[in-house]
């Protein structure tokens, strides 16, 4: 009888410690995203101009593949002022893949048409917010989306309908 009680207590202890370990492993899995930090990879340079005056040159990381478009700037705690991510859209469905899920920094999101002209600036989009202004534009016109730090569009003088972009030095990535 005493051996049975000891065996029973041992089994209970084992089950309890195993379930506790499982919970710890699950919580560890869920918090990995909080620890992940993705580095910026310069793929090219983007120049912006208003009429005949260049207003800014920034380094850009390009996103062309489906997974790159889906991930975007996720899991990044900062973005230097003179950097951005340029999404190269191949079809109109790509635009719906871009969201602020798992974002850590606020952004200005800039929509660019096939004439390399900025057609919409969605300013100060904060992490985890839905991007709502997308319905205000004609999606088939959009060829690129540029994400930069929040406030930079105003600071650099980027204007809807007036600012054009030029991409150079793409290191043959795209």
Boundaries of every domain in the chain:
2-30, 44-168
pLDDT digits (tens, 9 = 90+) for 146-166: 999 999 999 999 999 999 999
pLDDT digits (tens, 9 = 90+) for 2-34: 655 665 655 656 555 554 444 444 444 445 555
3-state secondary structure the chain: CHHHHHHHHHHHHHHHHHHHHHHHHHHHHHCHHHHCCCCCCCCEEEEEEECCEEEEEEEEEEECCHHHHHHCCCCCCCCCCCEEEEEECCCHHHHHHCCCCCCCCCEEEEEEECCCEEEEEEEEECCCCCCCHHHHCCHHHEEEEEEEECCHHHHHCCCCCCEEEEEECCCCCC
What's the confidence (pLDDT) of residue 10? 57
Q: The domain at 44-168 falls in which architecture?
A: Sandwich (2.60)
């Amino acid at each position: 009888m005493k051996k049975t009680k000891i065996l029973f207590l041992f089994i209970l202890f084992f089950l309890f410690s195993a379930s506790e370990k499982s919970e710890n492993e699950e919580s560890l899995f869920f918090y990995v995203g909080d620890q992940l930090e993705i580095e910026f990879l310069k793929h090219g340079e983007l120049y912006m101009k208003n009429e005949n005056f260049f207003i800014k040159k920034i380094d850009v990381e390009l996103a062309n593949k489906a997974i790159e478009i889906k991930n975007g700037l996720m899991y990044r705690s900062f973005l230097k002022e003179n950097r951005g991510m340029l999404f190269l859209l191949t079809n109109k469905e790509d635009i719906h893949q871009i969201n602020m899920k798992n974002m850590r920094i606020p952004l200005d999101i800039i929509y660019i048409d096939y004439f390399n002209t900025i057609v919409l600036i969605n300013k100060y989009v904060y992490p985890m917010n839905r991007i709502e202004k997308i319905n205000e534009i004609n999606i088939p016109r959009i060829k690129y989306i540029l994400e930069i730090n929040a406030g930079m569009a105003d600071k650099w003088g980027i204007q809807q309908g007036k600012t054009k972009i030029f991409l150079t030095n793409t290191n043959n990535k795209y």
